[in-house]
């Protein structure tokens, strides 16, 4: 057999493999989506507003410390914290760590909340970068501000955890907006299943385009910016159609650092967030799974589909690229740290199902897709496949993504309908279709870049620029330059 | 080509189907919402006016199931805001319009949310006629079970308590069981004491202890003191906290013993005992708390410091007396908690005015590095206080 024949056969086989891979990935995601739909339905068959209200007035409601890491957030910090201080929850405090900001973050806080420096004793359970000072608010006794040297997001969260006085901690980004009853709904699993719930997360939605007044979303609108629109569909798919399903299977691997509730003691005993990790929320969740499985204790990591946290997403390609690059490095780094769990039956659904799924489709997906595009182009040029096969390949690839996006949009519309206008629904569907013709390929390219950065040992977060949410009478669409968190 | 065509048609079908389904459901939802709003607007104000006696005639009775549901919702929304005669008016209307039967029917529904909402309404309306149905559903879906238990508590069906205990214990919602029993108030005390003594799981016993504390069950003090010696640390902690909430002075000795027994090591019960002692007016407790300030475990030390701050002058006096024997970490922790409670400033002011006990605390705090308040007062308006603060800071900088 000549080398040319071997190469031709190899290319043909690879093309077939890629095609099968696309079918498999679609089927797997569809199964997860179907599980999510069933879970959302079951959730709404039981969720009673009155039960949630009862928790609000319950003397046994578990106190919560909202942990907010902040780095150069001067533009939005006062509004964000003001909004956090008006959440509906019986007993909570806000612990903010100013992570060595070089802008006016601390000055804004001092002016906005009448901070006074106190000599508050702090735990040293988790090692962090040095704390410079602790401040308490004269006007809001439940606000604590820790001023510390820069150590990164995970380090700032750890400082908050050291200072937190409640048994539950809720990790939130400084520019995130939690809906007024979001905390109540996110804490509900801890009240319902106190013995087994280790962590719970809510849904992150895209704030770009929404009307925002003093840290509150007053009108839900879709972004005008196409890049933010694509991400809106993407977030719906990631949270509603994926995490809900994984949660039902007790295989939830990520509780977003932008909005996640944990038991303080469990996180502290696990040495907090890994300060040297770039995917610290994913890494912590895996560590919690690992510890609970190894200890043989029954546990659950829950995703609750209706407590909402609004966040800005990048509207510029450079910022989006940096974000996705970092997310992919975080994914690889965490999978590598916990490689012993992959495929290991000792770790139950996480080891045998969720992690292999992540490796096969989240990690390898970018490679297969990229190589697939290269192989098919090459095959076409070399005449190994005809136009019909290439078209079939493209059609299957597009169909795979389209089915998932459209089903996520449908699930959102049936269960939550946050985007009330019919025009919004049609736009979501349209972007669900369009994202497969360019945006998806772009994200794949960013992920490949992330892989290369990881190999080069890049562990930086990149620069984050914010210009804040828009004023009350203007949509926030043009506001965000970047938002840095995991989907 | 065939594959591409099939894929294309599937994609097109998915888009068309999704759009059609979502649009038709939206249209149906909009029609239903409009109908609901129309009926709600029709009955909402007359219902409130009737309840408060502003008009004699209630709104017309519901014509069908849909109207019944809306009326249920309106009653559930309105009733919790009303008391006395106004509430009785609504309860009368609830019976007169046959809503008891419709709630009982909904309670038997296989749809959990329908049953849960019916149970909630039965509870809000104190519909004692629904008690048999509510008791029947105590063996169903866990959340329906919970809603029925809460409704029975709101109605005050005390004889259902043993059944509630059995139902909620089975579903493992110990916190909810405690909360539900709490709604019965003092009538729940015997059941809770029994739970504390002999419930099959530690979780249930812990909740019983916490709930006894919440309802301030003085008669349960002896049982709670016994529980301080249990093998389960969490139960010991819950019992200690409950004794603090009840505020029974006689429990002081047992709490001090628990605090001392752990020897300052990591123990949630020890920290809970320290917290409880801060709620009692017990001289022996204050002395034990000062000793606990030197505990190795941060949480115990923190609870002791918090409690000493909560004890006010008694706590300050006790710390001042024993301050020479305390390690600097203990003094810094106590002074830090005083500062957080905004009480360190007044202590410094009293020291400046010549109070020797406060002077000892202020000097010790300064020596341990707790100086933020001193710095603030050093530049303040009061000359005596600023002079004292400056002197202390000056001394501190030379030590």
pLDDT tens for B241-277 read 999 999 888 889 999 998 887 665 667 889 999 999 9
Q: d(Cα A77, Cα B101) in Å, to the nearest integer?
A: 54
- Confirm or reject contact between A60 and chain B (CB < 8 A): yes
Instruction: Say yes or no to pLDDT of A487 above 60.
Output: no
Helices (H) and strands (E) in chain B, counts: 23, 0
Rg (CA), chain B: 31
pLDDT category of residue A118 using cuts at 50, 70 and 90: very high
Q: Tens digits of per-residue pLDDT, A13-57?
A: 888 888 788 888 888 888 999 999 898 888 876 666 656 666 666
Task: Copy the structure tokens of residue A221.
Answer: 């609108």
* Cα-Cα end-to-end distance for chain B: 88
Predicted confidence at residue A258, as pLDDT, reads 87
Q: Tens digits of per-residue pLDDT, A293-329?
A: 999 999 999 998 888 899 989 999 999 999 999 999 9
Q: d(Cα B67, Cα B231) in Å, to the nearest integer?
A: 56
Instruction: Say yes or no to pLDDT of A161 above 90.
Output: yes
Structural domain total, chain B: 2
Closest CA to A231 of A98, A51, A54, A405: A405
Predicted confidence at residue A478, as pLDDT, reads 33
- Overall average pLDDT of the B110-130 stretch: 86
Predicted confidence at residue B399, as pLDDT, reads 54
pLDDT category of residue A475 using cuts at 50, 70 and 90: very low
DSSP helix/strand/coil, A117: strand
Predicted confidence at residue A220, as pLDDT, reads 92
**Cβ neighbours of residue A389 closer than 8 Å, sequence gap 6 or more:** A15, A376, A379
For chain A, what percent of residues have pLDDT higher than 90?
A: 53
Predicted confidence at residue B144, as pLDDT, reads 85
pLDDT category of residue B185 using cuts at 50, 70 and 90: confident
B154, B171, B188 - which closes a domain: B171
pLDDT category of residue A485 using cuts at 50, 70 and 90: very low
Q: d(Cα B329, Cα B335) in Å, to the nearest integer?
A: 10
**What is the value of pTM for the model shown?**
0.85
pLDDT category of residue A205 using cuts at 50, 70 and 90: very high
- Please tell me which of the candidates A50, A125, A413 has its beta carbon nearest to residue B120: A50
Q: Tens digits of per-residue pLDDT, B34-54?
A: 999 999 988 888 888 888 888
For chain A, what percent of residues have pLDDT higher than 70?
A: 91
In a domain, B395, yes or no: yes
User: How many C-alpha atoms does A128 have within 13 Å on its Cβ side?
Assistant: 34
Best A29, A114, A116, A119 member to test B by mutation, with max B CBs in 10 Å, is A119
**Cβ neighbours of residue A450 closer than 8 Å, sequence gap 6 or more:** A324, A325, A326, A327, A328, A329, A332
Q: d(Cα A282, Cα A288) in Å, to the nearest integer?
A: 10
Predicted confidence at residue B377, as pLDDT, reads 92
User: How many C-alpha atoms does A189 have within 13 Å on its Cβ side?
Assistant: 25
Best B372, B375, B379, B396 member to test A by mutation, with max A CBs in 10 Å, is B372
In a domain, B376, yes or no: yes
For the ranges A225-229, B76-80, B222-226, the lowest mean pLDDT is seen at: B76-80
Q: Tens digits of per-residue pLDDT, A343-364?
A: 999 999 999 999 999 999 999 9
Yes or no: say if A70 and A156 are a contact pair by the CB < 8 Å rule: yes
With CA atoms as reference, the chain A residue closest to B305 would be A121
For the ranges A196-200, A479-483, B1-5, B367-371, the lowest mean pLDDT is seen at: A479-483
**Cβ neighbours of residue A12 closer than 8 Å, sequence gap 6 or more:** A379, A384, A385
ipTM above 0.90, yes or no: no
Number of Cβ within a 10 Å radius of residue B129: 15
| Burial B66-99, CB ≥16 within 10 A → b, else e | ebbbbbbebbbebbeebeeebbebbbebbeebeb
Instruction: Tell me if A395 and B4 make a contact (CB, 8 A cut-off).
Output: yes
**Cβ neighbours of residue A9 closer than 8 Å, sequence gap 6 or more:** none
In a domain, B296, yes or no: no
Instruction: Say yes or no to pLDDT of B145 above 70.
Output: yes
Going by the DSSP 8-state scheme, the letter that residue A475 receives in this structure is B
- Confirm or reject contact between A136 and chain B (CB < 8 A): yes
Predicted confidence at residue A463, as pLDDT, reads 55
Q: Tens digits of per-residue pLDDT, B288-318?
A: 999 999 988 899 999 999 999 999 999 999 9
Task: Copy the structure tokens of residue B290.
Answer: 């000062």
Distance between alpha carbon A409 and the CA centroid of its chain, in Å? 18
Predicted confidence at residue B355, as pLDDT, reads 94
Instruction: Say yes or no to pLDDT of B175 above 80.
Output: no
Predicted confidence at residue B174, as pLDDT, reads 60
Domain with B355 in it: 316-399
CA distance B229 to chain A (A): 23
Distance between alpha carbon A328 and the CA centroid of its chain, in Å? 13
- Overall average pLDDT of the A157-182 stretch: 93
Instruction: Tell me if B298 and A396 make a contact (CB, 8 A cut-off).
Output: no
In a domain, B112, yes or no: yes
- Confirm or reject contact between A41 and chain B (CB < 8 A): no
CA distance A453 to chain B (A): 36
Q: d(Cα A202, Cα A305) in Å, to the nearest integer?
A: 6
Predicted confidence at residue A472, as pLDDT, reads 40
- Overall average pLDDT of the B223-244 stretch: 92
- Count interface pairs A-B at CB distance under 8 A: 143
In a domain, B17, yes or no: no
B141, B171, B201 - which closes a domain: B171
Please spell the DSSP secondary structure of B188-203, one letter per residue: GHHHHHHHHHH-SSHH
Predicted confidence at residue B171, as pLDDT, reads 53
- Overall average pLDDT of the A269-276 stretch: 93
Predicted confidence at residue A477, as pLDDT, reads 33
Instruction: Say yes or no to pLDDT of A72 above 90.
Output: yes
Instruction: Tell me if A46 and B210 make a contact (CB, 8 A cut-off).
Output: no
Q: d(Cα A298, Cα A312) in Å, to the nearest integer?
A: 36
Predicted confidence at residue B318, as pLDDT, reads 93
pLDDT category of residue A191 using cuts at 50, 70 and 90: confident
B155, B171, B187 - which closes a domain: B171
Yes or no: say if B166 and B201 are a contact pair by the CB < 8 Å rule: no
Yes or no: say if A23 and B7 are a contact pair by the CB < 8 Å rule: no
């Amino acid at each position: 057999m000549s080398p040319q024949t071997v190469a031709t056969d190899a290319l043909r086989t690879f093309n077939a493999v890629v095609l099968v891979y696309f079918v498999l990935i679609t089927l797997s995601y569809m199964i997860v989506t179907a599980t999510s739909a069933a879970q959302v339905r079951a959730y709404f068959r039981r969720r009673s507003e009155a039960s949630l209200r009862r928790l609000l007035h319950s003397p046994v409601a578990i106190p919560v410390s909202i942990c907010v890491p902040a780095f150069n957030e001067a533009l939005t910090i006062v509004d964000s914290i003001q909004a956090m201080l008006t959440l509906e929850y019986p007993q909570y405090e806000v612990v903010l760590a100013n992570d060595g900001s070089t802008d006016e973050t601390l000055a804004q806080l001092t002016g906005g909340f009448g901070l006074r420096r106190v000599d508050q004793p702090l735990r040293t359970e988790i090692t962090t970068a040095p704390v410079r000072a602790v401040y308490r608010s004269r006007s809001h006794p439940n606000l604590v501000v820790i001023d510390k040297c820069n150590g990164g997001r995970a380090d700032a969260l750890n400082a908050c955890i050291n200072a937190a006085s409640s048994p539950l901690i809720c990790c939130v980004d400084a520019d995130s907006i939690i809906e007024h009853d979001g905390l109540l709904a996110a804490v509900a699993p801890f009240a319902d299943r106190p013995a087994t719930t280790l962590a719970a997360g809510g849904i992150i939605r895209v704030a770009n385009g929404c009307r925002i007044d003093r840290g509150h979303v007053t009108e839900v609108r879709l972004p005008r910016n196409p890049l933010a629109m694509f991400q809106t569909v993407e977030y719906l798919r990631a949270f509603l159609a994926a995490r809900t399903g994984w949660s039902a299977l007790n295989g939830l691997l990520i509780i977003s650092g932008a909005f996640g509730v944990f038991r303080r003691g469990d996180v502290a005993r696990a040495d907090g967030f890994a300060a040297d990790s770039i995917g610290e929320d994913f890494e912590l969740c895996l560590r919690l799974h690992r510890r609970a499985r190894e200890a043989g204790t029954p546990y659950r990591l829950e995703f609750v589909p209706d407590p909402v946290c609004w966040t800005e997403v990048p509207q510029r390609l450079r910022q989006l690229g940096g974000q996705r690059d970092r997310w992919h490095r975080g994914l690889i780094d965490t999978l590598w740290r916990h490689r012993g769990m992959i495929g290991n039956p000792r770790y139950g659904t996480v080891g045998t199902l969720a992690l292999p799924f992540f490796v096969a489709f989240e990690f390898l997906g970018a490679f297969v897709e990229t190589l697939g595009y290269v192989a098919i182009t090459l095959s076409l040029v070399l005449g190994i496949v005809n136009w019909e096969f290439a078209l079939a390949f493209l059609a299957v690839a597009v169909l795979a993504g389209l089915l998932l996006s459209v089903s996520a949009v449908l699930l959102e519309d049936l269960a939550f309908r946050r985007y009330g206008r019919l025009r919004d629904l049609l736009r979501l569907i349209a972007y669900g279709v369009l994202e497969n013709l360019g945006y998806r390929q772009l994200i794949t390219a960013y992920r490949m870049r992330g892989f290369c950065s990881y190999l080069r040992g890049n562990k930086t977060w990149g620069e984050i620029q914010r210009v804040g949410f828009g004023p009350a009478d203007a949509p926030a669409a043009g506001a965000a330059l970047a938002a840095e968190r995991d989907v | 080509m065939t594959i591409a065509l099939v894929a294309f048609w599937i994609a097109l079908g998915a888009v068309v189907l999704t759009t059609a389904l979502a649009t038709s459901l939206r249209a149906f939802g909009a029609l239903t919402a409009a109908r609901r709003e129309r009926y709600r607007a029709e009955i909402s104000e007359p219902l409130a006016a009737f309840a408060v006696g502003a008009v004699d005639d209630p709104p017309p009775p519901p014509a069908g199931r849909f109207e019944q549901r809306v009326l249920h919702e309106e009653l559930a929304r309105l009733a919790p805001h009303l008391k006395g005669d106004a509430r009785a008016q609504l309860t009368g209307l609830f019976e007169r319009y046959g809503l008891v039967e419709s709630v009982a029917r909904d309670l038997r529904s296989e749809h959990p949310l329908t049953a849960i909402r019916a149970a909630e309404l039965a509870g809000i309306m104190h519909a004692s006629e629904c008690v048999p149905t509510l008791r029947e559903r105590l063996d169903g879906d866990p959340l329906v079970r919970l809603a029925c238990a809460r409704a029975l508590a709101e109605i005050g069906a005390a004889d259902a308590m043993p059944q509630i205990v059995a139902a909620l214990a089975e579903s493992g919602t110990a916190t909810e069981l405690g909360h539900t029993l709490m709604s019965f108030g003092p009538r729940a005390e015997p059941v809770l004491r029994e739970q504390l003594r002999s419930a099959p799981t530690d979780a249930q016993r812990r909740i019983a202890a916490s709930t006894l504390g919440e309802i301030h069950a003085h008669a349960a003090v002896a049982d709670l003191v016994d529980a301080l010696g249990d093998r389960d640390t969490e139960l010991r902690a819950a019992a200690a906290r409950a004794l603090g909430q009840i505020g029974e002075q006689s429990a002081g000795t047992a709490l001090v013993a628990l605090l001392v027994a752990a020897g300052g090591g990591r123990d949630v019960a020890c920290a809970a005992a320290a917290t409880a002692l801060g709620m009692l007016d017990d001289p022996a407790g204050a002395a034990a708390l000062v000793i606990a300030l030197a505990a190795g475990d941060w949480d115990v030390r923190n609870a002791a410091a918090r409690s000493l701050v909560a004890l006010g002058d008694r706590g300050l006096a006790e710390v001042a007396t024993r301050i020479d024997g305390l390690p600097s970490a203990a003094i810094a922790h106590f002074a830090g908690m005083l500062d957080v409670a905004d009480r360190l400033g007044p202590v410094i002011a009293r020291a400046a005015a010549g109070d020797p006990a406060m002077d000892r605390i202020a000097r010790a705090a300064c020596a341990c590095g707790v100086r933020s308040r001193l710095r603030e007062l050093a530049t303040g308006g009061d000359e005596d206080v600023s002079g004292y603060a400056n002197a202390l800071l000056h001394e501190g900088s030379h030590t």
